Amino acid sequence: GAVVSQHPSRVICKSGTSVKIECRSLDFQATTMFWYRQFPKQSLMLMATSNEGSKATYEQGVEKDKFLINHASLTLSTLTVTSAHPEDSSFYICSANLGQNTQYFGPGTRLTVL
């Protein structure tokens, strides 16, 4: 299957700082990538759709000014959590579409905000 990477795998930061998470499609180009958030013992919840060369589309209830998404190339999307607070601590996972509506996921980034 297709390979999607994320960096960093885990990050610990102080409250009020900003954190950037990168998502890369390693062996294919992805015009569309997706960002999910997963709290402990829960399912994945879609946060936003990242579109190469245009603005991201955010799901209802997700603050676009807090979760900045940039999809500058066909293989890279970044999610920046601005002014992070403890309630933003979560597992953030990206995915990219390949071919016939099949999404491949990255390994996830564990964010802990102190």
Partner 1 sequence: GQQLNQSPQSMFIQEGEDVSMNCTSSSIFNTWLWYKQDPGEGPVLLIALYKAGELTSNGRLTAQFGITRKDSFLNISASIPSDVGIYFCAGQLSGATNKLIFGTGTLLAVQP
**Residue 104 interacts with partner 1 (CB under 8 A)?**
yes
Q: CB of residue 16 vs partner 1: minimum separation in angstroms?
A: 26
Q: Pick the piece of the chain touching partner 1 (CB under 8 A) from 11-19, 65-73, 79-87, 98-106.
A: 98-106
**Footprint on residues 25-54 left by partner 1 (CB under 8 A):** 32, 34, 43-46, 49
Which residues are CB-contacts of 55 (< 8 A; sequence separation ≥ 6)? none
Identify whether the C-beta of residue 16 lies closer than 8 Å to the C-beta of residue 6: no
94 three-class SS: strand
Q: CB of residue 88 vs partner 1: minimum separation in angstroms?
A: 17
**Residue 57 interacts with partner 1 (CB under 8 A)?**
yes
**Residue 22 interacts with partner 1 (CB under 8 A)?**
no
Which residues are CB-contacts of 24 (< 8 A; sequence separation ≥ 6)? 4, 5, 6, 7, 75, 76
Q: What is the dihedral of CA 11, 16, 22, 23, to 10 degrees?
A: 90
Q: Please give the residue ranges that form the binding site for partner 1 (CB under 8 A).
A: 1, 4, 6, 32, 34, 43-46, 49, 57, 59-61, 91, 93, 95, 97, 100-108, 110
